[in-house]
Amino acid sequence: MKIITVSREFGSGGRELGKRLAGLLGFEYFDREIVTAISEQTKLNENYVESIIENHLPFNFPVSFGRTFSYYPITESSALKILSAQHKIIKEIASKENCVIVGRSANIILEEYNPFNIFVYAEMDSKIKRCRERAATEEHLTDNEMRKKIKQVDSYRAKNHAFVSDTKWGAKEGYHLCINTTGMEIKKIAEFTAQYSECWFKQHGVE
């Protein structure tokens, strides 16, 4: 299977890039759909599931536990149930069809599937601008408040990554392609990224 994972800084346009890539390549796209599937499987509220995945992982567990906890018996902890379900669902997706998966530490979870891993980032001013363009009309954050929100979300994502890997989130060693979207149109980036990914799959014998 051809699998693309997209890790991204908040406001960098990574979600849009992932969706456009899936459309250009004819792949299935997964992002929020994974949260919905976890909610259905665990019978837990969808918003609660997302809050656990994005913000409140049990970081007191060692890294080795994060890598292999699908083999551990599920405890009464809702967090562990959610994380175990996430591992299972992401691997099921990867085993069935060509796909683009945004976030969820999929690049680490799917290491054995040889995915093409992308990291999307941007300068802070660009991220603030993109967030404003996509913000709800009732949201009125100052630049400082927006900057704080972006840094907080990225901090959570870095911690989530640290839970399953000892490679630093965003470090070039952990990805096949790092993309700076500052001042760039995501639609244009998606076009050459799709071409690059196809070359990568061909070079690595992934069908």
Region 77-98 average pLDDT: 88
Model pLDDT, residue 8: 97
For residue 133, tell me if it sits in a domain: yes
Cα 194 → chain centroid: 18
Provide the CATH number for the domain around residue 127.
3.40.50.300
Region 65-87 average pLDDT: 60
For residue 67, tell me if it sits in a domain: yes
Please name the residues in contact with 39: beta carbons below 8 A apart, sequence gap of 6 or more: 45, 46, 49
- Token pair of 201 as six digits: 């799959």
Please name the residues in contact with 99: beta carbons below 8 A apart, sequence gap of 6 or more: 1, 2, 3, 4, 22, 27, 28, 29, 30, 93
For residue 204, tell me if it sits in a domain: no
For residue 137, tell me if it sits in a domain: yes
Strand partners, 6: 102, 118
**Mean pLDDT across the chain, nearest whole number?**
86
Cα 38 → chain centroid: 15
More confident of the two residues 170 and 57:
170
For residue 207, tell me if it sits in a domain: no
User: What pLDDT band is residue 70 in, cutting at 50, 70 and 90?
Assistant: very low
Domain encompassing residue 149: 3-199
- Token pair of 44 as six digits: 């837990």
Most confident of 33-37, 56-60, 98-102, 130-134: 98-102
For residue 161, tell me if it sits in a domain: yes
pLDDT at 72 over 60: no
- pLDDT tens digit string along 142-188? 889 999 999 999 998 998 888 788 889 999 999 999 999 999 999 99
For residue 103, tell me if it sits in a domain: yes
The total of structural domains in the chain comes to 1
pLDDT at 75 over 60: no
